[in-house]
Structure 1
Amino acid sequence: MRKKHDLPQKTCMHCGQPFTWRKKWEKVWDAVKYCSDRCRNERKRCGSAP
């Protein structure tokens, strides 16, 4: 078992906060860009506004 501080981290493209690898992201870790659904949805809103 790995300890939490040994897991890989990324920085969220929307909020800039670091987030840690999760088991549910195991197969798609390279494609994960946002720390949460909220950040992903906010990014879409900001990008579509004029």
Structure 2
Amino acid sequence: MMKAARRPKATTPDKICEACGRPFSWRRKWARDWDSVKTCSDRCKGALRAGRTASAT
């Protein structure tokens, strides 16, 4: 099994969470499916599925 290439923090891509609107950065566990990642957390994923937006706390 090949290891994911390590990236310097400055070159990791960012996205905007579709649920809360906050920016979030690439994480190693998302390496295989970064193109399909839409939310920054499980909380936001649940909120998006329920059809509501997560509030920033």
Normalized against structure 1, the TM-score is what? 0.81
1:22 alignment partner in structure 2: 27
Same amino acid, percent of matched pairs: 47
Name structure 2 gaps, 5 residues minimum: 1-5, 53-57
1:42 alignment partner in structure 2: 47
More helix by share: 1
Q: CA deviation at 1:43?
A: 1.2
Count of equivalent residues: 47
**RMSD, aligned α-carbons:** 1.4
Q: CA deviation at 1:12?
A: 0.1
Deviation string for 1:9-33 (max 9, x for gaps)?
0000010000000000000000000
How many Å separate the matches in 1 of 2:19 and 2:7? 28
Normalized against structure 2, the TM-score is what? 0.72
Name structure 1 gaps, 5 residues minimum: none
